[in-house]
A and B are shown apart, each in its own frame.
Chain A
Amino acid sequence: MSLNYDQAVEKYEPTLGLEVHVELNTKSKMFCSCSTEFGGAPNTQTCPVCLGLPGALPVVNGKAIESTILIGLALNCSIAPFSRFARKNYFYPDMPKNFQTSQYDEPICVNGYLDVEIETDEGVKPFRVEIERVHMEEDTGKSLHVGGATGRIHGADYSLLDYNRAGIPLVEIVTKIVGGTDKYAPQVARAYVTELRDILRSLGVSDVKMEQGSMRCDVNLSLAPIGSGELGTRSETKNVNSLRSVERAVIGEVVRQSNRLQDGERIVQETRHFQEESGQTRSGRSKEQAEDYRYFPEPDLVPVVPDSAWIEELRATLPEKPSTRRARLQAEWSVPDKEMTSLVNAGLLDVVEETITIGADPTRARSWWLGEVSRLANEREVDPTSLITPAQVAEVISLIASGELTDKLARQVVEGVIAGEGTPADVISKRGLKVVSDDGALMTAIEAAIASQPDTAERVRGGNIPAAGALIGAVMKATGGQADAAKVRELLLKHLGQL
Chain B
Amino acid sequence: MTTIRSSASEMAAALASGETTSVELTEAHYAQIAKVDEQVHAFLYLDKEGALAQAADVDAKRKSGAELSPLAGIPLALKDVLAQKGIPTTCGSKMLEGWRPPYDSTVVSKLKAAGIVILGKTNMDEFAMGSSTENSAYGVTHNPWDLTRIPGGSGGGSSAALAAFEAPLAIGTDTGGSIRQPAAVTGTVGVKPTYGGVSRYGLIAFSSSLDQAGPCARTVLDAALLHEVIAGHDERDSTSIDAPVPHVVKAAKKLDVKGMKIGVVKELQGEGFQSGVLSKFHEGLDALVAAGAELVEVSCPTFDYALAAYYLIAPSECSSNLARFDSMRYGIRIGDDGNRSAEEVMKLTRHEGFGPEVKRRIILGTYALSSGYYDAYYGSAQKVRTLLMRDFNAAFAQADVLVSPTAPTTAFKIGANDNDPLAMYLNDIATIPVNMAGIGGMSLPCGLAEEDGLPVGFQIMSPAMRDDLMYQVGGTLEAALLSKWGGPLLDKAPVLAGN
Contacts and interface: CB of A to CB of B under 8 A. Distances in A.
B4 interface: no
A99 B203 CA distance: 18
B246 interface: no
B102 A89 contact: no
Given A48-B103, A55-B203, A296-B378, A99 B235 contact: no
Contacts of A87: 320
A58 B325 CA distance: 17
Contacts of B236: 57, 59
A55 B238 contact: no
Contacts of A227: none
Interface string B78-110: 000011000001010000100101110100000
Contacts of A161: 328
Contacts, number: 99
Nearest to A157: B338
Given A89-B323, A296-B378, A55 B371 contact: no
Contacts of A54: 83, 89, 91, 96, 99, 101, 204-205, 324-325, 330
B371 A292 contact: yes
Nearest to B345: A93
Nearest to B105: A55
Secondary structure at the A interface, as helix, strand, loop or mixed, is: loop
Contacts of A350: none
A286 to B, nearest CB: 17
Contact of A292 (B83, B320, B370): B370
Contacts of B96: 54
Contacts of B303: none
Given A89-B323, A97-B324, A57 B200 contact: yes
A426 to B, nearest CB: 49
B239 interface: yes
B342 A56 contact: no
B343 interface: yes
B316 A53 contact: no
A25 to B, nearest CB: 23
A291 B99 CA distance: 33
A482 B105 CA distance: 74
Most buried by B among A89, A98, A302: A98
B329 interface: yes
Contacts of B370: 292, 294
Contacts of A93: 326, 328, 342
B438 to A, nearest CB: 12
B208 A299 contact: yes
Contact of B320 (A48, A57, A60, A89): A89
Nearest to B203: A55
B316 A55 contact: no
Contacts of B202: 55-56
B366 interface: yes
Contact of A96 (B91, B205, B329): B329
B238 A294 contact: no
A91 B343 contact: yes
Interface string B316-349: 1101100111101110000000000011001000
A187 to B, nearest CB: 37
Contacts of B89: 54
Contacts of A290: 371
B208 A300 contact: yes
B102 A48 contact: yes
Interface in B233-250: 235-239
Nearest to B240: A57
Interface in A18-35: none
Interface in B166-223: 200-205, 207-209
B95 to A, nearest CB: 9
Contacts of A295: 369
A416 interface: no
B305 interface: no
B415 to A, nearest CB: 30
A59 B102 contact: no
Contacts of A296: 316-317, 320, 369, 374, 378
| B interface, size bucket | 35 or more
A43 to B, nearest CB: 10
A57 B324 contact: no
A218 to B, nearest CB: 21
B324 A294 contact: no
A159 interface: yes
A301 B238 CA distance: 6
Contacts of A97: 323-324
Contacts of A243: none
Contacts of A52: 324, 329
B346 A53 contact: no
Nearest to A161: B328
Interface string A45-85: 00010011111111110000000000000000000000000
Nearest to A300: B208
Nearest to A49: B236
A136 to B, nearest CB: 14
A361 to B, nearest CB: 55
A469 to B, nearest CB: 73
A299 B204 CA distance: 14
Interface string B55-97: 0000000000000000000000000001100000101000010
A295 B372 CA distance: 12
Given A54-B83, A55-B201, A294-B320, A302 B238 contact: yes
B79 to A, nearest CB: 12
A299 B83 contact: no
A55 B326 contact: no
B375 to A, nearest CB: 11
B205 A55 contact: yes
Contacts of A58: 238
Contacts of A302: 238-239
Given A98-B326, A161-B328, A89 B369 contact: yes
A377 B366 CA distance: 51
A299 B435 CA distance: 14
Contact of B323 (A55, A56, A91, A292): A91
Interface string A267-310: 00000000000000000000000101011100111100000000
18 contacts: A48-B102, A53-B102, A53-B329, A54-B101, A54-B330, A55-B204, A57-B236, A57-B237, A91-B343, A93-B342, A98-B323, A99-B320, A294-B366, A294-B374, A295-B369, A300-B238, A301-B239, A302-B238
6 residue pairs, one from A and one from B, having the closest CB atoms: A98-B323, A294-B369, A299-B208, A299-B209, A55-B202, A54-B204
Interface of B: 82-83, 89, 91, 96, 99, 101-103, 105, 200-205, 207-209, 235-239, 316-317, 319-320, 323-326, 328-330, 342-343, 346, 366, 369-371, 374, 378
Given A54-B99, A295-B369, A296-B374, 5 more contacts: A57-B238, A96-B324, A296-B316, A301-B238, A302-B239
